[in-house]
Amino acid sequence: MKLKKPSRKTFVILLVLLIAACAGGFFYVKKIRAQKATAAKNSGKAPDRIYPVKRGRLVIGIMLRGSVNAKVKHKLALEAPFGTKLVKVVDENSKVKKGDVVAEFETADLLLRVDDYKLTIEQTKKDLAIAKEEREVLISTNKEDLRTARDKVTECQDAYSRYVRLEGPRDRDTQTLAVSDAEKERDEAKEEYTTAKNDFDNSIFADSAAEETAKKNVEKAKQKLEAAETKLNSALLAKKLFKRYTYPNKLKDLRNKLAQAKLGYEKTRVRTQSLLTQKNNQIYRLEITIRNNERQFRRHSSWVPMMTLIAPVDGIVTYGDPDRIWGNPEVKVGMDGRRKQVIITIPDMSQMIVDVNLPEQYRSKVSIGDKVHITPESLPEIKINGQISTIASLPVNTIPWDKSTPKIYRTVVSFADRNPKIVSGMSVQVEVVSKILENVISVPIEAVFEEGGQLFVYRKELSGPEKCFVKIGASSDNAVEITEGLEEGDEVFLYRPFQAKTN
């Protein structure tokens, strides 16, 4: 039998009736709840919230807030210490691939500086080659000047030695011989004069002519004696002059000439050495100039590639340094480029971590290696496991410049699993699991009260709430272990029952 398909009108009527029934039920439930609340308010009682005590697993931990961050952030900055301007930059939040150009700086001035260094090096090398050739010529000239000066010293030394050893003694002997010859000649003339005079005095002449002849002979012998004596006196005078004046003056003159020659040689040596030193210094300065310019050329040439920033990994571009609290530049074309100033950061999304500020009061409850459960605040359905990787050795103030703010430990949490929905900058809840207790009795922390230094709970009995003293063990942010006072199956109140409302 074929069933008849209900009409559209019938379907609409049924839908309206269903909506009306739901609305009626909603208002009825709301009315009942309002009546219960009014009754509780009038009686001064809180609505019963009772927790059944049970035995099971108790996770000891604390809940913290953190921010997802990249473990490795590639911070791109101008590494060259050269003043320039930004001429090109990709848009923020752009996706880039490894090897893409993300920013460029002006290079015209830098390239001009490189060319200047190159030209300076070439010109200085030419000057150096000329200076080296001049040094070779100077060395040759200096050798010739020194040889001439040395030969002059040798010549003067030989002349002095020759006169002292040969010429001086020879001249002295000549003078002595001249005196000796003059004395001999005088003696002979004297003897001849004496003989002639004696003959004249002792002879008897036959005639006047013979007497005149003899007289002339005497006169002639006398003249010869006088000439011999004059010659002897001249020889003695010459010997005396040679000994007192000629010989000492000649020695002095030769010694002066030798000293002048030695002084001239020393002057030549100092002058040639000074000229060579000056030339060597010139060459050294030129070599230093070349090395300095080559070093500057290499440095400035190495800066040219630094003017282009290349993406080291695939990722998303972020302007500035996200780890810098203040002082990030406004990145735009035309901005001044400063060395080491981060203008672009590209997080490595393949390795993510969570930065957590661990309050100082929780430090004793958390250790490196503790397991954590990470829940993104924007995606609460996602649960990711992780662990505590590092905890700072020393605490710092929450606000660094305000010493009155609470202290925290910088803590890093690593992911055990990879989820593509987790991105840098995401806020997350981090539940730190420091200990897991198995098969223990635990109750919510709001069920335990303290009075007079003792802990107790309100246990539900047939006669009503009953105060029950307990002992506790480990606790978390929302639960506490009960070691004595409660058994599995007991029921406890999560508030102080029948507590009168206070104004």
Structural domains present in the chain: 46-72+348-493 (2.40.30.170), 78-102+307-346 (2.40.50.100), 110-305 (1.10.287)
Token pair listed for 467: 């105060």
Token pair listed for 122: 């070439």
Alpha helices in 163-202 (DSSP H): 168-202
Tell me, what's the pLDDT at 418?
A: 82
The dihedral built from the CA positions of residue 154, 156, 159 and 165, taken in this order, carries a sign that is negative
Question: What span, in angstroms and rounded, lies between the C-alpha atoms of 97 and 311?
Answer: 7
pTM, entire model? 0.55
Whole-Å CA distances, 215 to 178, 205, 211, 334, 346: 31, 11, 6, 139, 147
Q: Got the DSSP string for 120-155? A: HHHHHHHHHHHHHHHHHHHHHHHHHHHHHHHHHHHH
In the chain, which residues have pLDDT < 50? 1-6, 29, 36-46, 500-503
Helix (H) or strand (E) holding 266: helix 247-306
Mean pLDDT of the chain: 86
Helix (H) or strand (E) holding 430: strand 427-444
Helix (H) or strand (E) holding 356: strand 352-359
Q: Pick from 401, 394, 321, 399: which is nearest to 360 by CA?
A: 394
Tell me, what's the pLDDT at 500?
A: 43
**Which backbone phi and psi does 207 adopt, to 5 degrees?**
-145, 175
Radius of gyration of the chain (CA): 64
Q: Pick from 62, 63, 61: which is nearest to 435 by CA?
A: 61
Beta bridge partners of 62: 432
Beta bridge partners of 45: none
Tell me, what's the pLDDT at 501?
A: 43
For residues 241 and 171, the answer to whether their CB atoms sit within 8 Å is: no
The dihedral built from the CA positions of residue 349, 353, 355 and 356, taken in this order, carries a sign that is positive
Beta strands 101-105; 84-89: pairing state: antiparallel
Question: What span, in angstroms and rounded, lies between the C-alpha atoms of 487 and 470?
Answer: 11
